């Protein structure tokens, strides 16, 4: 049941001096799927995510999103088009309450950054959108907590909630499981399994159990090149992948 292609990365190249961080990367994300991107440390996963999100300009290649070339768009413009990103290390406004962080997302989505007069925290439309996102990730009761007081796991939940306020068409998630306990990981796994039906997820993740449990497709990135893309079983049985990546883990 291959869905419609939402995000299409075409032949990305990016070098830092002699280091080829992206060496002709092509991959796509289809509606309804979780596409996991795995690879050893230093394989160029973060560099790739940054290029897709718009924070880093590739030397060559293009990113198409929702059928249009977004290569020339900024981070903000891509976010506005519905490309929602969560960070490996939580990027939140730490002095704001949980609700204010979610409202910030709703403001960005509404395109009303230049509303000067009506108080944001009394605006029904913004509050409703923010409250719905908090409800979805289970942070409703923490709405008036200052973000810096949240636990690590709750911050990850809030990251996802803020992404949800963007009415996303696709998610880019950079290690959402990082630093979560076993139970937190399991809960999040269930949540993402459900979330992918709303918008597909390109997932960078180190937790192999989570990847094998969640992913519909997996791409393996090694030294800036994708050496294999396929289903969980295909990747598990792929000889190249075993030597390049899984083998290392077994040895370790």
Partner 1 sequence: MLPERMINLLILGLLLAVPLVALAMDEPFIITLATKAAVLAVAGVGLNLALGQGGLVSFGHAAYFGVGGYAMGILASHAQSYTPLMEAPFLIEGTKSMLVIWLVAIVASALVALLVGALSLRTSGVYFIMVTLAFGQMLYYFAISWPAYGGEDGLSIYVRNGFPGLNTLDPIQFFGLCFAVLLIVLFAVNLLNKSPFGLALNGAHQNEERARTVGINVYRLRLTAFVISGAITGLAGALFADLNRFVSPTMFSWQTSGEIMVFIILGGVARLCGPVAGAAVYILLEHVLGGLSEYWHIYLGAILLFVVLFAKGGLVGGLSRREVRHAG
Exactly one of 7, 9, 79, 204 binds partner 1 (CB under 8 A); that residue is: 79
Instruction: Check binding of 237 to partner 1 (CB under 8 A).
Output: no
Q: CA 221 to CA 55: how far, in whole Å?
A: 20
Near partner 1 by CB under 8 A, which window of 25-33, 158-166, 173-181, 188-196?
158-166
Of 119, 123, 198, 121, whose CA–CA distance to 166 is shortest? Answer: 198
Instruction: Check binding of 144 to partner 1 (CB under 8 A).
Output: yes
Instruction: Check binding of 143 to partner 1 (CB under 8 A).
Output: yes
Exactly one of 100, 175, 207, 216 binds partner 1 (CB under 8 A); that residue is: 100
Report the b/e string of 186-204 with b at 16+ CB within 10 A. Answer: eebbebbeebbeebbbbbb
Nearer to partner 1, 67 or 117 (CB): 117
Spatial neighbors of 12 by CB under 8 A, at least 6 apart, are 22, 24, 25, 26, 48, 51, 58, 60, 61, 62, 63
Binding mask 120-139 for partner 1 (x = CB under 8 A): xxxx--x-------------
Near partner 1 by CB under 8 A, which window of 8-16, 33-41, 103-111, 211-219?
103-111
Provide the 3-class DSSP secondary structure of residue 200: coil
Instruction: Check binding of 112 to partner 1 (CB under 8 A).
Output: yes
Instruction: Check binding of 95 to partner 1 (CB under 8 A).
Output: yes
Q: CA 189 to CA 230: how far, in whole Å?
A: 20
- Least separation in angstroms between CB 186 and partner 1: 27
């Amino acid at each position: 049941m291959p869905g419609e292609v939402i995000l299409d990365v075409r032949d990305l190249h990016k070098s830092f001096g002699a280091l080829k961080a992206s060496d002709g990367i092509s991959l796509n994300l289809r509606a309804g799927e979780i596409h996991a991107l795995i690879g050893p440390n230093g394989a160029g996963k973060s560099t790739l995510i940054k290029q897709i999100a718009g924070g880093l300009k590739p030397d060559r290649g293009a990113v198409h999103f929702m059928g249009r070339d977004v290569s020339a768009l900024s981070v903000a413009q891509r976010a506005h088009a519905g490309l929602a990103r969560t960070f490996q290390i939580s990027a939140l406004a730490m002095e704001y309450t949980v609700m204010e962080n979610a409202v910030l997302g709703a403001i960005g989505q509404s395109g009303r950054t230049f509303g000067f007069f009506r108080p944001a925290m009394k605006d029904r439309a913004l509050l409703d959108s923010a409250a719905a996102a908090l409800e979805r990730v289970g942070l409703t009761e923490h709405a008036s907590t200052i973000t810096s007081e949240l636990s690590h796991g709750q911050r990850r939940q809030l990251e996802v909630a803020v992404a949800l306020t963007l009415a996303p068409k696709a998610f880019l998630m950079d290690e959402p499981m990082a630093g979560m306990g076993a139970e937190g990981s399991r809960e999040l796994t269930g949540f993402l399994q459900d979330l992918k039906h709303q918008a597909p997820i390109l997932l960078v993740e180190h937790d192999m159990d989570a990847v094998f449990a969640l992913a519909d497709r997996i791409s393996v990135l090694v030294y800036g090149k994708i050496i294999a893309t396929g289903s969980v079983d295909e990747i598990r049985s792929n000889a190249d992948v075993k030597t390049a990546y899984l083998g290392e883990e077994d040895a370790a």
